[in-house]
């Protein structure tokens, strides 16, 4: 079992106390297309903070990252805002992800089934709402792998 890092404990604390989050919204919004900015702004403050951290780390590791990869990093979790996804659901589905039941992405459901849908299908939910095909592809595949920048986004995202 992996050690619990300080970073993960801080993230868990912010999960329960979102007022502790301070996403760099100005930095993010300056990089996003208008439709992407709307997706970003619809996200929970915790997801915005995480996505900004992921985008900045992506740029730190690969300063030559294309604009579409940075934008994808900024909205890669936007699918989680499709339905309320409370902290208990987030924690439960993260802890038991290995045993997640196979659930179809649609229709979107309430309760724990809906939480599993969000956990499993949030990349698709976000990608389906992104106009730029490059950004949409990276977001859609950031959990599955695939193209280079989807792989790199996955690597950076799972470092948190």
**pLDDT tens readout for residues 80-117:** 998 888 888 988 888 888 888 899 999 999 999 999 99
Q: What CATH number should be reported for the domain holding residue 151?
A: 1.10.3210
Answer whether residue 37 is part of any domain. yes
Reported as type and span, the H/E element at residue 31 is none
Answer whether residue 18 is part of any domain. yes
Answer whether residue 1 is part of any domain. no
Q: Which domain holds residue 53?
A: 6-157
Contact (Cβ atoms closer than 8 angstroms) between residue 33 and residue 109: no
Q: How many other C-beta atoms lie within 10 A of the C-beta of residue 42?
A: 15
**pLDDT tens readout for residues 144-156:** 878 999 999 999 9
Q: What angle do CA 111, 114, 115 make, to 5 degrees?
A: 85
Q: Does the predicted TM-score (pTM) go above 0.85?
A: yes
């Amino acid at each position: 079992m992996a050690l619990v890092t300080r970073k993960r404990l801080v993230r868990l604390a912010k999960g329960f106390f979102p007022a502790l989050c301070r996403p760099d919204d100005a930095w993010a919004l300056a990089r996003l297309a208008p439709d992407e900015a709307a997706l970003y702004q619809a996200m929970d403050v915790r997801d915005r903070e995480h996505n900004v951290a992921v985008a900045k780390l992506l740029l730190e590791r690969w300063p030559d990252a294309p604009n579409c990869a940075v934008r994808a990093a900024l909205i890669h979790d936007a699918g989680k805002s499709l339905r309320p996804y409370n902290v208990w659901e987030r924690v439960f589905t993260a802890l038991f992800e290995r045993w997640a039941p196979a659930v179809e992405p649609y229709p979107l459901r309430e309760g724990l089934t809906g939480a599993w849908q969000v956990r499993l299908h949030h990349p698709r939910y976000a990608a389906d709402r992104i106009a730029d095909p490059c950004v949409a592809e990276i977001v859609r595949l950031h959990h599955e792998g695939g193209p280079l920048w989807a792989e790199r986004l996955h690597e950076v995202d799972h470092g948190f």
